[in-house]
């Protein structure tokens, strides 16, 4: 059953591009979280999406939020991608078992072996406050995400 607005965000623990274990609960009571599910490192649309996130990182920080990117790529792919793109927020490897966290959020596309493109905002209490799915070839409107984030207590 996918995550629902107002309900608890499904917990997870994944490694980032620096092999650091990141848990959603690490941010509970401290920061809002912007979970950015994207299909694959290195693809053109994902690259544009991350370029927008990197450019607007300060805005997310001002709104007291931590951005976390999640895809089915490996830690090593994330490391090379983050280094190339100048990404300084965690890119989490939903690699083994493939798409397990995406499945919890209802965004894993088993027939394609990737997650879809979606953004989830989780409040400081660990509840899902906002969510939007995007078509895979569409770059999310980061301004829309920022506005939604500004409305989350």
Q: Where in the chain are the domains?
A: 13-17+27-150
Cα dihedral 14, 16, 19, 25 sign: negative
Residue 66 pLDDT: 96
Question: Residue 120 and residue 117: Cα distance in Å, rounded?
Answer: 10
Residue 1 pLDDT: 58
Catalytic residue among 9, 24, 36, 46: 46
Residue 2 pLDDT: 67
Fold type of domain 13-17+27-150 = Glutaredoxin (3.40.30)
The distance in angstroms from the start CA to the end CA of the chain is 26
DSSP class per residue in 93-106: E-TTTTTHHHHHTT
**Is residue 52 annotated as part of the catalytic site, yes or no?**
no
Instruction: Record the tokens describing residue 17, joined without a space.
Output: 């591009």
Q: Is the pTM of this model over 0.75?
A: yes
Flag whether pLDDT at 61 surpasses 80.
Answer: yes
């Amino acid at each position: 059953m996918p995550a629902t607005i107002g309900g608890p965000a499904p917990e997870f623990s994944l490694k980032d591009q620096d092999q650091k274990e990141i848990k959603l609960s690490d941010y509970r009571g401290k920061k809002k979280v912007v979970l950015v599910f994207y299909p694959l490192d290195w693809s053109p649309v994902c690259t544009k999406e991350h370029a927008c996130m990197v450019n607007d990182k300060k805005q997310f920080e001002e709104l007291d939020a931590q951005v976390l990117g999640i895809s089915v790529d490996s830690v090593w792919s994330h490391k090379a991608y983050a280094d190339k793109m100048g990404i300084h927020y965690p890119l989490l490897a939903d690699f083994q078992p493939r798409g397990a966290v995406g499945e919890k959020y209802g965004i894993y596309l088993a027939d394609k072996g990737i997650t879809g493109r979606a953004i989830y905002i989780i409040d400081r209490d660990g509840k899902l406050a906002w969510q939007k799915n995007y078509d895979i070839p569409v770059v999310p409107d980061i301004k829309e995400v920022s506005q939604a984030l500004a409305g989350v207590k």
